[in-house]
């Protein structure tokens, strides 16, 4: 009840019969007294609500999760996926800021198609597309320009190339070349991406690896557990002691990097980092969620890039499940400290991927329970 209304009710109520003479307070004094009491009651109620909120937050269990992996492991995509699943999500302004990154990936996809045409000895059928090809190769995207209005000519050129008759012949020889990741997805969506009112979707941002502001951190809540995720460059072992209070580690590992020879990006580099992390004395009470990414790319590579060439003891041929199982066994063999390892195959670029989030909370709950039982000497 508002203060003025409450006071009007108070002063208009009939007074009780008096049995003795008393000094009657003026309405002005009564008003001041009532308003002071009303203000104190409001402050007390606000304080009570604040105390209840503080107690609720205290009952929530905050857990630190580290997300790590080598270059090309998919850890940044995992972080972007978690960032998109936060309760507040991603604002329209943040989405618009990723438009240049999406357009740049579209251009790179078109350029990879042009490279594949050259490798396959195919020529564009439409003569106009020769000019379009030259334009696409030389076009540059301004990272600060969030408007699509200046890219209309580039979009038309890409659309012309993608619908050239030579592309159908090229795709029939898919085993002879490799396009950039998600090239077909973006080229099929060229009209939508080129529209003036285009706003990137979750899937666009994930597949284009578009940087989301503060994507190196994410916060998720389920029940009374709050997870704080941090993407950490853990190649420097001297940093490990800073994170000794970590509940769980999300280690991202690509299933398709077995043939990569670039320093820091191959399977052996990933195995070495994994071994350093899981056997560190700073993570003795930590569980590891081993996230195996890029299964689709593994399926595409096995027929043309045999795993046996790089792992002589592998005998699974082109069976991608056997290949994934073999690679998983390579990681498990490095777990000398016998930490709890929870493996999962995750398509991080799929915005509908929720299995990973649920598995992460299950992993954290089991780790908390195990550590609590260990503290009580129930487990040795």
Structural domain total, the chain: 2
Q: Answer yes or no: is 266 within a domain.
A: yes
Highest mean pLDDT among 14-18, 34-38, 165-169, 238-242: 165-169
Pairing of the two strands 225-231 and 61-68: parallel
Question: Model confidence at 96, in pLDDT bands (50, 70, 90)?
Answer: confident
Question: Could you give the percent of the chain with pLDDT greater than 90?
Answer: 5
CATH code of the domain in which 75 resides: 3.40.50.300
Residues facing residue 66 across a β-bridge? 230, 249
d(CA 367, CA 360): 11
Domain range for 275: 61-89+214-370
Q: Tell me: the pLDDT tens digits for 289-302?
A: 888 988 888 888 88
Are 70 and 121 part of one and the same domain?
A: no
Q: Answer yes or no: is 32 within a domain.
A: no
Are 79 and 101 part of one and the same domain?
A: no
| Higher per-residue pLDDT: 84 or 288 | 288
| Higher per-residue pLDDT: 121 or 20 | 121
Final residue before a domain boundary, out of 177, 207, 237: 207
Q: pLDDT at position 332, please?
A: 93
How many other C-beta atoms are found inside a 10 Å radius of the C-beta of residue 44? 10
Q: Answer yes or no: is 14 within a domain.
A: no
Are 122 and 267 part of one and the same domain?
A: no
| Higher per-residue pLDDT: 248 or 331 | 331
In angstroms, what CA-CA distances link 85 with 114, 256, 313, 365, 373?
A: 36, 26, 40, 20, 32
Are 128 and 194 part of one and the same domain?
A: yes
Question: Model confidence at 336, in pLDDT bands (50, 70, 90)?
Answer: very high
Query: Could you report how far apart the first and last alpha carbons of the chain are, in Å?
Result: 60
Cβ pair 265, 227 in contact under 8 A: no
Q: Tell me: the pLDDT tens digits for 41-74?
A: 787 777 767 666 654 554 557 778 888 888 878 8
Highest mean pLDDT among 200-204, 324-328, 353-357: 324-328
Q: Answer yes or no: is 311 within a domain.
A: yes
Whole-prediction pTM: 0.62
| Higher per-residue pLDDT: 30 or 264 | 30
Are 249 and 183 part of one and the same domain?
A: no
* pLDDT of residue 213 exceeding 70: no
Final residue before a domain boundary, out of 207, 238, 263: 207
Question: Model confidence at 25, in pLDDT bands (50, 70, 90)?
Answer: low
């Amino acid at each position: 009840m508002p203060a003025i209304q409450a006071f009007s009710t108070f002063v208009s109520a009939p007074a009780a019969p008096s049995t003795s003479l008393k000094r009657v307070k003026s309405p002005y004094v009564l008003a001041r007294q009532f308003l002071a009491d009303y203000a104190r009651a409001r402050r007390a109620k606000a304080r009570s609500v604040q105390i209840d909120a503080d107690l609720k937050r205290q009952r929530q269990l905050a857990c630190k999760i580290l997300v790590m992996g080598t270059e090309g492991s998919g850890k940044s995509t995992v972080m972007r996926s978690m960032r998109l699943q936060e309760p507040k999500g991603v604002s329209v302004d943040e989405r618009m800021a990723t438009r240049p990154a999406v357009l740049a990936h579209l251009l790179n996809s078109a350029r990879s198609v042009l490279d594949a045409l050259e490798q396959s000895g195919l020529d564009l059928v439409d003569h106009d597309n020769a000019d379009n090809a030259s334009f696409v190769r030389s076009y540059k995207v301004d990272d600060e320009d969030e408007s699509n209005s200046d890219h209309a000519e580039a979009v038309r050129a890409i659309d012309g190339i993608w619908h050239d008759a030579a592309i159908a012949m090229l795709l029939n020889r898919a085993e002879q070349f490799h396009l950039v990741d998600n090239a077909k997805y973006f080229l099929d969506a060229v009209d939508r991406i080129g529209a003036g009112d285009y706003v990137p979707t979750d899937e666009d941002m994930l597949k284009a690896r578009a940087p989301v502001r503060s994507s190196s951190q994410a916060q998720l809540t389920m029940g009374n557990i709050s997870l704080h995720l941090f993407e950490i460059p853990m190649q420097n072992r001297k940093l490990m002691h800073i994170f000794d209070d970590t509940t769980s580690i999300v280690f991202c590992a690509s299933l398709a990097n077995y043939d990569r020879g670039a320093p820091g990006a191959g399977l052996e580099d990933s195995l070495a980092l994994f071994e350093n992390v899981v056997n560190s004395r700073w993570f003795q009470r930590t569980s590891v969620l081993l996230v195996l990414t890029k299964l689709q790319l593994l399926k595409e590579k096995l027929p043309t890039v045999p795993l046996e060439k790089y792992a002589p003891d592998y005998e699974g041929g082109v069976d991608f499940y056997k290949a994934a199982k073999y690679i998983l066994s390579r990681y498990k063999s490095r777990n000398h400290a016998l930490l709890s390892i929870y493996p999962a195959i995750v398509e991080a670029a799929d915005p509908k991927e929720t299995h990973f989030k649920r598995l992460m909370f299950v992993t954290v709950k089991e780790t908390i329970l195990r550590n609590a039982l260990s503290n009580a000497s129930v487990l040795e």
